[in-house]
Amino acid sequence: MSGPLKLRDPETLRLPLEAAVQCMRCGFCLAACPTYQVTGLETQSPRGRIHLVRSAAEGWLDPAAILPALDLCIGCRACEPACPAGVPYGQILEASRAELEPRRPRPWLEGVAWRVVLRGLLGRPWGLRLSRWLYRLYRALGLQGLIRRTGVLERLLPPLGELEASLPSPERADGPARGKAPLGNGPRVAFFSGCVQAIALDHVNQAAIRVLEAAGCQVLIPPGQGCCGAVHAHLGDREAALAQARRNIEVFEQVEADWIVNVAGGCGAALKEYPDWLAGDPQWAERAQAFASRCRDFTELVDQLPLPELGPFEAAVTYQDSCHLRNVQGVVDPPRRLLRRVPGLRYVELPGAAQCCGAGGVYTLTQPAMSRELLDAKMAQVAQVGASVLAVANTPCHLQLLMGARRLAQGRVGGAPATAPVQVLHIAEILDRAIQAGARGAG
């Protein structure tokens, strides 16, 4: 048996073993947990996982034995608002994964690949620039079209292939890029671009910037920013996550801004939790707190701003909550209020909107079977309400639901007939189109 799992770390964690002991085993978390609802297994519930962590920390279990249970957790954190004791499950989960990561039996090539992607391409500003350039080249050379026509990637690596086949065209952006120089005289906004968001969904970033500027904000995009570090933290790479946090704090300290705004619920949750990540570091704790105090989700800020006259957006629209926007940031009503402000938009509440879609950062790739089961259940809910547009507010959710919409249109969602194509749009895209429609009407 390997040594006990240690949850105490003076630099990064305020979370001693007693955090796990806070769990009263009341079971309120069970109904909120997607993996427990699918499997019915106690070990696949927050309560069960906390018990496993505690047992490993106290030396009763080999820490390696609890890896499968922790790996299948999506990290949606729906258990946290359901918990009457306020157990910090997300912190327990990420602390445990960080301690277990060095003990994980990972093939050499897989380990190298993860390090190249996480610490290289997503972990450095130059890596993000290189990734964007490679993605543009991949499309410009016709490789994307070739791979999609042959279906080779879907056959060799089904989860990755299906995800790639669902990616939107970057040319879908509805207007010129903004954020190059501040316009307007309203609040000063420093825009956080993200990593995958800036590569695969940059048209959403540009739409959000146009909306912010239309609302009178002065928008700047600070150079040198990088990934928020959430994916590193979720996968147990604590060192890389903290490096990302420190880099972003330093970059945004150089900008005079009232707010730091992003369009991804998962990224925003990480940014707002930098004070927890760096609480044990006296050189960074106060700086992290000052940084996080300025962070706002796009919908959270725009909901408080006056918008120009909106033109009609004629569609039945439903909305899927981002788990981290809802469960961690507590932002529930602003996205819905914004959608209801759009003329012609017929808002339909999605049954189970608070239930995870199965995206979970890179969970789509690491746990494809569970991810697909949750996705199909979500798309069956979408088919039930008959909306033609599914609004989102998070990057992994956006990509996951694009894949789900494709599956639904192809009749591959169990329990739901094939439907007319459902558009998956970020709320920023919907507002951007409504603002442009309003400007055309006024002209």
pLDDT, one tens digit per residue, over 201-247 is: 999 999 999 999 999 999 999 999 999 999 999 999 999 999 999 99
d(CA 279, CA 247): 16
Are residues 275 and 367 both part of a single domain? no
Q: Work out the burial of residue 171: count CB atoms within 10 Å of its CB; fewer than 13 is exposed, 13-18 middle, 19 or more buried.
A: exposed
Q: Examine residue 307 and state whether it is found in any structural domain, yes or no.
A: no
Are 26 and 79 in the same domain?
yes
In a domain? residue 208:
yes
* Number of independent structural domains in the chain: 4
Look up the CATH number of the domain holding residue 57: 1.10.1060.10
Domain check: are 251 and 328 in the same one? no
Establish if 1 belongs to a structural domain. no
Range of the domain at 352: 315-442
Predicted confidence (pLDDT) at residue 99 exceeds the cutoff of 50: yes
- Where residue 181 falls among pLDDT bands split at 50, 70, 90? low
Query: Do residues 161 and 210 both lie within one domain?
Result: no
Co-location of 428 and 377 in the same domain: yes
- Report the candidate in 26, 7, 11 with the shortest Cα–Cα distance to residue 66: 7
CATH number reported for the structural domain that contains residue 230 in this entry:
1.20.1050
> Where residue 424 sits, what CATH number does that domain have?
1.20.1050.140
In a domain, 3, yes or no: no
Same domain assignment for residues 122 and 34:
no
Domain's final residue, options 65, 82, 103: 103
Q: Examine the fold and report which residue of 103, 128, 146 is the final residue of a domain before the chain moves on.
A: 103
Residues 177 and 271 in one domain: yes
Burial of 141 (0-12, 13-18, 19+ CB in 10 A): exposed
Position 206 in a domain: yes
- What is the pTM assigned to this prediction? 0.91
Residue 104 is which amino acid? R
Residue 11 placed within a domain? no
Q: What is the pLDDT of residues 364-387, one digit of tens each?
A: 999 999 999 999 999 999 999 999
Instruction: Please report, in angstroms and rounded to a whole number, the separation of the first and last CA atoms in the chain.
Output: 74
